[in-house]
Structure 1
């Protein structure tokens, strides 16, 4: 799977989808083709039952440096190049192209791990925020950079960022556009943890998760995604619904059987 212009490359091995932004000569900057590639790739993965975990990274030295310079030039004339991306309509909460490029990863039923090195700036950072887990190089550079260009983060960042770092820190990062290192990003909660080789660590973590029951993993993600967004009664009821569906299911029985037999489990994806 890949976009027509090869902006996004994907390889699926043993349930792990290795997804890479592929425009290294432009620091994986976002242009209409990249937006199209991100959305179409995410939606294709959502329909693939063999995918258990996604690892999202960038080819070359950077994750994504944000908008392509051509987009800034177009803005001088009041244009938004992202609007020219050719995408089918969406019935989800994210409707604008940039929002969909970031939110499509949050919408996946399976865990998404972002491996970040080099620059993750502006829209690039917002795409990373769509992941469930972010592993970052200590010397990576991250920034909510939009205000530097007279803009605001409009790719879901204003809604997602406060949940991760708190409203006050989100405001400080957004209003100053300051660049933080991967080390500070992890301290702030902007990223999960640091690693000298984020991609290697992300793939290792993905393989570990892919070895668990895919139905249990998806159920856990659904529950954790609603935590704090619904009232406790609704959240507790959802727990009981999910556990009721899992107990006695083929994969749950296999997890127990394999555990007692001290062997690797063989789970079904469907």
Structure 2
């Protein structure tokens, strides 16, 4: 078990990084140490060429219940505790600490699967938006809860949520702060699918993805993340660049050879 003071635990097995928010006694609530640990874990994994998939989940009864109550109390005095997290500057689009804690998962070159159980509220929900895939327990509780505290979602939620559920649904959820179940989240597009044991399901899916060519998977993520964010000409050109780099490469040859030989492929890691 990880040290109890370690806010985020990370272990890597067979190319799968198992990342767990590790503050169960506080329902994995976000404090400066948790923000910093999330960013640091994501940054560390981004440069690990042996990682093929990431599974992001929470220890204890919840994925993440949102911002620590101490932070809300500090806000009444105009303080923003998340800003006290000690982090190196970011060269990506997310600059604020909370934004980086959520968006660092979107910046990983490999797929990230969030496994959500219990509460994923406010900032906890926004962390899941950085994942590529969200598997959620049917009875999980998800909410864009900031309005209840007189706030707006400021951890990428206003920009990423509409991509998933549409602008009108994003507005309804944000204006009301209402809680939705995992089942409703799936119906709205807020999650990919439900499963009564989301972490086990996420790890099984991760193993399936990790068995594919890591170069093709990374290229697929790059292309799919461009969709809707660049014009078609740029997107189509990116497709051709990626396919040109893959055809005849060692892992592509191995994929074809293994398929014809009816055996499991043996892919090389790396970028």
**Are the aligned partners of 2:23 and 2:59 in contact in 1 as well (CA < 8 Å)?**
yes
Residue of structure 2 equivalent to 1:179: 179
Provide the C-alpha distance between the structure 2 equivalents of 1:210 and 1:3, rounded to a whole number of angstroms. 28
Provide the C-alpha distance between the structure 1 equivalents of 2:174 and 2:230, rounded to a whole number of angstroms. 27
Provide the C-alpha distance between the structure 2 equivalents of 1:88 and 1:236, rounded to a whole number of angstroms. 35
Residue of structure 2 equivalent to 1:262: 262
What secondary structure, in the 3-state scheme, does the structure 2 residue paired with 1:95 have?
Answer: coil
**Are the aligned partners of 1:3 and 1:37 in contact in 2 as well (CA < 8 Å)?**
no
**Are the aligned partners of 1:15 and 1:210 in contact in 2 as well (CA < 8 Å)?**
yes
The offset of 1:26, in angstroms, is: 0.3
Provide the C-alpha distance between the structure 2 equivalents of 1:196 and 1:61, rounded to a whole number of angstroms. 14
Aligned length: 269
TM-score by length of 2: 0.98
In the alignment, structure 1 residue 6 sits paired with structure 2 residue 6: yes
Provide the C-alpha distance between the structure 2 equivalents of 1:173 and 1:156, rounded to a whole number of angstroms. 15
String of CA shifts for 1:51-89, please: whole Å, max 9, x gaps: 000000000110000000000010011000000000001
In the alignment, structure 1 residue 144 sits paired with structure 2 residue 144: yes
The offset of 1:233, in angstroms, is: 0.6
**Are the aligned partners of 2:135 and 2:193 in contact in 1 as well (CA < 8 Å)?**
yes
The offset of 1:4, in angstroms, is: 9.9
Residue of structure 1 equivalent to 2:103: 103
**Are the aligned partners of 1:3 and 1:36 in contact in 2 as well (CA < 8 Å)?**
no
Residue of structure 2 equivalent to 1:195: 195
Provide the C-alpha distance between the structure 2 equivalents of 1:237 and 1:5, rounded to a whole number of angstroms. 47
Provide the C-alpha distance between the structure 1 equivalents of 2:61 and 2:192, rounded to a whole number of angstroms. 20
Provide the C-alpha distance between the structure 1 equivalents of 2:147 and 2:186, rounded to a whole number of angstroms. 22
Residue of structure 1 equivalent to 2:160: 160
Residue of structure 2 equivalent to 1:93: 93
Following TM superposition, where does structure 1 have runs of at least 4 consecutive aligned residues deviating by more than 4 angstroms? none
Provide the C-alpha distance between the structure 2 equivalents of 1:154 and 1:3, rounded to a whole number of angstroms. 30
Q: Where in structure 2 are there 5+ consecutive unaligned residues?
A: none
**Are the aligned partners of 2:27 and 2:65 in contact in 1 as well (CA < 8 Å)?**
yes
**Are the aligned partners of 1:29 and 1:66 in contact in 2 as well (CA < 8 Å)?**
yes
The offset of 1:142, in angstroms, is: 0.1
Provide the C-alpha distance between the structure 2 equivalents of 1:237 and 1:3, rounded to a whole number of angstroms. 47
Residue of structure 1 equivalent to 2:58: 58
Aligned pairs for 1:15-34 (under 5 A) are 15-34=15-34
TM-score by length of 1: 0.98
Q: Where in structure 1 are there 5+ consecutive unaligned residues?
A: none
Residue of structure 1 equivalent to 2:238: 238
Alignment root-mean-square deviation, CA: 1.1
